[in-house]
Each structure stands twice: as C-alpha cells, then as structure tokens.
C-alpha cells in the first residue's frame, strides 16, 4: 500500500493525488459517499444511476421527490445502524 500526504485547505477541501485518481478512474464532478469508521474517513464512488431511475419513476407516478429521498435516507440509516449492531 502506498501512503500519500494530503492537506485540508482553508475551504475544507482535500486534493487527491493524480495517480490515485487514475487508478480509481475518478473524474471531476463525480459524486462520492462518505463514511466515518472510528477516526477514519471512507470515500466510495457513488453510483447515482439507481437514484436517477427512482426519480424518473416518481415523476411518472406523480410522487413527491422529497418523500422518495426521505425514504432512501431512512433506509440507509437503518442499514447503517444494523451494520454496527451486528459488528458489536
């Protein structure tokens, strides 16, 4: 494993080294999921294709977009709490 040093800017931004970006295939404007695990930050590429498809479905059924996002966030929170419940 290669270790890189990064600095948090005054605007709370971190620059990821180019060789890491290239290895992961990450591009500018891409979205990410962030997770705290102890004192570590886990960054994962966020695939929003599913969310886009869900929003298309909600539009076709005239469902409020905010309700779908609330339901997704609630499900994610429940899944996250269950994960920690089983790990402890």
CATH number, domain containing residue 34: 2.10.260.10
Q: What is the Cα–Cα distance from 51 to 25, expressed in whole angstroms?
A: 21
pLDDT of 83 above 60: no
Residues 41 and 15 in one domain: yes
Residues 39 and 63 in one domain: no
Residues 41 and 56 in one domain: no
pTM of the model: 0.48
Domain total of the chain? 2
Q: What is the Cα–Cα distance from 78 to 88, expressed in whole angstroms?
A: 16
pLDDT of residue 65: 61
The count of residues in the chain is 88
Residues 38 and 54 in one domain: no
Residues 35 and 73 in one domain: no
Domain that residue 14 falls in: 1-46
Confidence band of 88 (pLDDT split at 50, 70, 90):
very low
Model confidence over 16-70: pLDDT tens digits?
999 999 988 888 888 887 888 889 988 887 765 566 666 666 666 666 666 667 7
């Amino acid at each position: 494993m290669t270790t890189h040093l990064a600095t948090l800017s005054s605007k709370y931004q971190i620059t990821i080294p180019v060789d890491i970006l290239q290895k992961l295939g990450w591009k500018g404007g891409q979205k990410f999921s962030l997770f705290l695990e102890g004192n570590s930050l886990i960054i994962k590429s966020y695939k929003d294709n599913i969310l886009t498809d869900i929003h298309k479905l909600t539009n076709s059924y005239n469902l409020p977009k905010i309700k779908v996002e609330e339901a997704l966030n609630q499900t994610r929170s429940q899944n996250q709490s269950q994960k920690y419940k089983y790990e402890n």
